[in-house]
Amino acid sequence: MPDNVHHSPHNSQHSPLPDTVSVILPTRNRAKMVSAAIDSALAQRIDGMQVIVIDDASSDDTRGVLAQYGDTIDVLRIHHSRGVAHARNRGIELATGQWLAFLDSDDLWLPGKLAAQLAVVADKPAIALCVTDFAVEQQDTGHLRPTTGNAQFFRAFPRQLHRDTNDDTAS
């Protein structure tokens, strides 16, 4: 059985639009939490933003939850699970935006997250990758605990990328 794709009207063409973002959101059996992730993406209010939800063969009510969004999201239903990496890759294939943004179905974006990232890349056109730190919500209090893990990891990334792409001796 082929995978089913429902396209929202805003992205009926398949050529990238300048300064648009495609949100790739894979999910599997997360009917109770996927709507919070989708809502946090839609709350970004980025013109031309495409939200692609890839349902990786859920057996719970994820399909029903996604149907409630109608034409505000694109939904790809995969009938036989092949894992989250496959689901993300299928979402990338459907993306029409110039930028890709990855959101897991158990995560939330803070308001303004994508606008802040787009401002950074607009200011520095040579940027090809933009990452953010994250915060962990304390289950008992609901407070957010910031982390700095991504910043520490990616500080060395540009130098490593530069060396690997320009050094003839790099393997």
Query: Would 54 be classed as within a structural domain?
Result: yes
Report phi then psi at 132, rounded to 5: -125, 165
What confidence score (pLDDT) does residue 141 get? Answer: 79
Residue 81 counted as domain residue: yes
Rounded distance between C-alpha atoms, residue 2 and residue 112, angstroms: 37
Task: Give the up-direction half-sphere exposure of residue 145: CA atoms within 13 A in the CB hemisphere.
Answer: 8
* Domain assignment present for 74: yes
DSSP bridge pairs for 62? none
pLDDT at 89: 97
How many domains would you assign to the chain? 1
90 assigned to some structural domain: yes
State the pTM of this model.
Answer: 0.77
The reply to whether 23 falls in a domain is yes
pLDDT digit string (tens) for the chain, length 171 residues: 567 766 554 443 444 445 689 999 999 999 999 999 999 999 999 999 999 999 999 999 999 999 999 999 999 999 999 999 999 999 999 999 999 999 999 999 999 999 999 988 888 888 888 887 777 776 777 776 766 655 555 554 444 443 344 444 434
Residue 139 within any structural domain of the chain: no
Report the C-alpha gap between 144 and 135 in whole angstroms: 6
121 within a domain of the structure (yes/no): no
CATH of the domain at 19: 3.90.550.10
- E-only strand ranges, 28-171: 50-56, 74-78, 97-102, 135-137, 144-146
Q: What pLDDT sits at residue 149? A: 58
Task: Tell me whether residue 134 is in a domain.
Answer: no
> Domain span at residue 44?
4-111
What per-residue confidence (pLDDT) applies to 161?
Answer: 42
Bridge partners, 144 (sequence order): 137
What is the Rg, in whole angstroms, of the alpha carbon atoms belonging to the chain?
17
